[in-house]
Amino acid sequence: MIRPILRGFAWVGAGLWLTLAPALAGDAPAQSARSAAEIMDILMWNREPVGGPFALTDQAGHARTDRDFRGRLMLVYFGFTFCPDVCPTDLQAIGLALDRLGPDGDQVQPIFITVDPERDTASHLADYVPMFHPRLIGLTGSADAIRKVADLRGRKVSIFRGTNNHLAAVKVLAGNGLQERDVQIINMDTATTNAALTSKDIDAAFGNFPLASLAEKNIAEIIYTTKGDNPAYERHSTLIGQDAFIKAHPDITQKIVSAIVRAARWASDEANREAFFEISARTGFPASGYRFDFSNQELKYRNTPIIDASIIESYRVQARQAREFGLLRRDVDLNGWFDRSFLDIALKEQGLVGYWQEYDASGRPQAAGQ
């Protein structure tokens, strides 16, 4: 029997990217343009469903996703800065309510999401949102850059079957109301996928690191990444040991785990970001690709060695999926698989208890000691 004893850092939360070939990037189905006022009417009267993960830009020009605000109550207001009366009135009421809450108001994050991104740029929001409350965050995006995973329906999409990319891609499709049968799945490895995207023999591909080079050369366009989206879409790796070896050599096992934890601590220090990329480039993948993949993510998040409820739940989900896809011949019971004892010793000995954030089974941050 084998036992996962440590999470493999640098693969924690590794992004799965959806890349479009140039042909598809340019011929996305046209959508009828709606004015900001029309969108406000839809929102106010609940004419269409609203909600879900987002990846937008704040008034300071920084990338923001819903994940940035987990653990806090988000008070989200949809509006636009050219709104003459309703929006400013509502935003003033929100600001007053937050002030009246006193210290309790710090648990609430007010967010203004524009429905008029063409005019409400980040710099414009920077002048607008402070008028209503100092903690109000304004979010905007590019209407031209918005593509939906749902637009893949009927398209030729490359997925490397039987890999963790495959399992993650199926989750992403399902999260956007699609199943594998709704797209034309083409089973391709990484090299073949890159060639097919370049030659436009496929419309899109789910993949990871190597797709960055195509985007850098403007051969393809990355329109979606799991980074900042539902944590269930992320991919992980773990250090796995044979029971027989662990029982026979607990001292060697501990030395290995402790060494990896020390390396993870170094690789989690933002002061070492560039050095980490340069060392990672020795694998043959360029440092620029690592910079791209790690963009807008803290090293502490990507390079954590922690085994927590979140990663255990992700493996349970993947085991069920692998069974459904015929990759496993029988159901697998993961109870008792994960052993944190060596990790906990290393954390204690190196004074790193609580250094890395832990998450519960649903992906929410856990308070220390829970």
Residue 258 placed within a domain: yes
122 shares its domain with 197: no
Both tokens of 350, joined, read 């190196």
Any domain includes 294: yes
Among 30, 297, 257, CA closest to 151: 30
The number of distinct structural domains making up the chain is 3
Q: Which two tokens stand for residue 101?
A: 């809450």
170, 200, 225 - which closes a domain: 225
Mark whether 328 and 305 lie in a shared domain: yes
E strands, the chain, are 2-7, 17-20, 55-58, 63-65, 73-79, 108-114, 137-140, 156-159, 184-187, 204-207, 221-225, 238-242
Residue 126: per-residue pLDDT: 93
CB atoms within 10 A of CB 263: 16
User: What's the CATH number where 7 sits?
Assistant: 3.40.190.10
Q: Could you tell me if 9 and 22 lie in one domain? A: no
pLDDT score of 33: 53
Domain shared by 21 and 9, yes or no:
no
pLDDT at 177 (0 to 100): 73
Provide the CA 158 distance to its chain's centre, in angstroms: 20
pLDDT computed for residue 219 by the predictor? 78
Query: Do both 239 and 215 map to the same domain?
Result: no
pLDDT of residue 36: 65
Residue identified by tokens 């050095």 is: 275
Are residues 126 and 76 both part of a single domain? yes
Is the residue at 356 inside a domain?
A: no
207 & 283 share domain:
no
In a shared domain, residues 205 and 165: yes
For residue 149, CA distances in Å to 102, 158, 313, 349, 363 come to 42, 14, 25, 46, 22
The order of strands in the sheet holding 63-65 is: 63-65, 55-58, 137-140, 108-114, 73-79
The count of other CB atoms within 10 Å of the CB of residue 234 is 22
Residue at which a domain ends, from 200, 225, 250: 225
Angstrom distance (rounded) from CA 79 to CA 77: 6
Per the CB < 8 A criterion, the answer to whether 268 and 12 are in contact is no
pLDDT by residue, tens only, the chain of 370 residues:
555 666 655 444 455 666 666 544 444 444 445 666 666 666 666 665 555 667 778 898 887 877 788 778 899 998 889 888 889 999 999 999 999 999 888 889 999 988 888 888 888 999 999 999 999 999 987 554 334 566 777 888 998 887 878 878 887 787 767 788 888 889 988 889 888 888 888 888 888 777 777 777 777 777 777 766 666 666 777 888 998 999 999 999 999 999 999 999 999 999 999 999 999 999 888 888 888 888 878 999 889 999 998 888 888 888 887 887 777 888 888 888 889 999 999 999 999 999 999 988 877 888 766 5
Domain boundary among 106, 140, 174: 140
The whole-number pLDDT of residue 258 equals 96
Residue 352's pLDDT is 97
CATH of the domain at 72: 3.40.30.10
Distance CA 142, CA 116 (A): 10
The pair of structure tokens assigned to 341 is 């004892």
Q: Is the domain of 130 the same as that of 174?
A: no
Residue 68, pLDDT score: 81
The answer as to whether 172 is a domain residue is yes
Per-residue pLDDT, 259: 96
| Residue 187 belongs to some domain of the structure | yes
Tell me whether residue 355 is in a domain.
no
Q: Are residues 8 and 42 in the same domain?
A: no
Considering the domain architecture, whether residues 124 and 172 belong to the same structural domain is answered as: no
Same domain, 219 and 271: no
- In this prediction, residue 144 carries a pLDDT of 45
Residue 357 lies in a domain: no
Residues spanned by the domain of 334: 2-13+234-349
Rg value, the chain, Cα = 23
In a domain, 263, yes or no: yes
